[in-house]
Amino acid sequence: MKNLTIVVTGPTGSGKTSVSLALAKKLDKCVFIEVDHIKHMILSGFYKQNKQWLYSEWKLVGQTIGIMTNNFLANDFNVVIGGYMHSDGWTSLSNQVDITHKFLLNPSKEVIKIRDNERDSKYFMGEEAIQEHIEYLAINTVFEDFHGIDSTEQTVEQTVDEILDRIS
C-alpha cells in the first residue's frame, strides 16, 4: 500500500498544528512536519513593510518540506504536513510530492478570534492577520482541491476522526 502524505492547512487559529499532531499520532509509522518549524529556520525570511511583518521565502519552505517528505516516504513513513503557507510554498511542495490528501480547516471567524485571544501573547496574530488569512485561502486557486472542514463546533479529536473517515 502507498504511504500517505496528508496536508492540513487553514487560517491562523484554525487548529492546524493540534489536528495535524493528533492525526500523525493515530497513523502507523508517521511523522509530523510543522510548516512553522521550517519557516522559522530561515531567519532572514521576515521583513517589515508598512508596519506589517511579511515573509519572502515560501517557495524555499515548500522545497525543503518536499525534500523531507520524500525522504520519509522513501523510508516507508506516512507524513502529515501541518501549517499555513502561501501559494508559492504549496506549489513548490506539490511539484515534488504526490500529496494524497489535502484538508483546509475552516472554523468561523468568531471561533478563530477566541482561539487567537487564548494564545500566548508572543503567538497572538490579531484581527487583521486573521482576516488576511481567511481572504487569502478563500480566493487563491491553489486551495480549490483541498477538502474543507468546518471545525467550528468540533474538538480536535472530532476533526481528526472526520479526516480519518475521509481518507479511509
**Span 39-80, pLDDT tens digits:** 989 888 777 677 666 788 899 999 999 999 999 999 999 999
161 versus 135: which is more confidently predicted?
Answer: 161
| Global confidence as pTM | 0.91
Sorted by where each begins, the domain ranges of the chain are 5-119+126-167
> Is residue 35 within 8 Å of 65, Cβ to Cβ?
yes
Determine the pLDDT at residue 33. Answer: 98
CA dihedral 95, 97, 101, 104 (to 10 degrees): -50
- String of b and e for 1-12 (b: at least 16 CB within 10 Å)? eebbbbbbbbbb
Answer whether residue 136 shows pLDDT above 80: yes
List, in order, residues 6 or more apart from 6 with CB less than 8 Å away.
23, 78, 79, 80, 81, 99, 100, 101, 102, 103, 163, 167
Question: Rounded mean pLDDT of 102-120?
Answer: 91
Determine the pLDDT at residue 56. Answer: 86
Name the CATH code of domain 5-119+126-167 (choices 3.30.465.10, 3.30.70.560, 3.40.50.300, 3.40.50.11030): 3.40.50.300
122 versus 148: which is more confidently predicted?
Answer: 148
Determine the pLDDT at residue 27. Answer: 97
Answer whether residue 120 shows pLDDT above 70: yes
Question: Rounded mean pLDDT of 141-159?
Answer: 95
pLDDT per residue as tens digits for the range 8-21: 999 888 999 999 99
